[in-house]
A = this chain, B = another copy of it.
């Protein structure tokens, strides 16, 4: 079924979750896993997991399940994590620093290769072996390092301007942590990762 076909966002968002758990199984030397097992651990319906994977190919064996290592390889390919993806981050505040230091965890081929900040007292600081650069260097650096994804961790007031600069520099996708909806051309993908929204929607479920 590897045809061209719009895969729903919900499916795409589950793939990294599968990948993460498969990586754990790999570390534990588990060879094989069934959709049943996966579903139980990830709180998902097994049929859904099988269907998700089947959009991209026939990765399992009937009566057996999925080979862990093979499935890891396949999901990495699907998510384009089979080669290193250079990422840039703007906003060397607390959150930005946290994400940079997480770099180690971003093993699956995501690598923050440049950090920028508008404040001159931040510029030149070292974060996880990266020197913070001034905003003027954003565009040339992004082009030079072939950065494909941009992360925004600046205050809301500056987020749109940073997004514009990312777009002009040729970034293809943006992860925005600022609490504001940023507008970009259709061909650029934006994900919003705003934890105040997350926290406030949690409050609804309090008794």
Contact = CB atoms under 8 A, between A and B. Distances in A.
Contact of A105 (B108, B148, B175, B196): B196
A57 interface: no
Contacts of A105: 179, 196
Count this chain's copies in the assembly.
2
Interface in A73-117: 78-81, 85, 87, 93-95, 97-99, 101-102, 105-106, 108, 110
B94 A202 contact: no
Nearest to A16: B200
A149 B200 contact: no
22 contacts: A12-B204, A13-B197, A15-B200, A19-B200, A20-B197, A41-B181, A43-B181, A79-B201, A79-B204, A80-B204, A85-B206, A94-B94, A95-B98, A95-B102, A99-B195, A105-B179, A172-B207, A173-B205, A175-B198, A191-B201, A193-B193, A193-B195
A202 B181 contact: no
A149 B108 contact: no
Interface string A2-16: 000000010011011
Interface in A31-65: 41-43
A17 to B, nearest CB: 6
A78 to B, nearest CB: 7
A39 to B, nearest CB: 11
Contacts of A193: 193, 195, 198
Contacts of A95: 95, 98, 102
Interface centre among A13, A97, A99, A204 (most CB of B within 10 A): A204
A143 interface: no
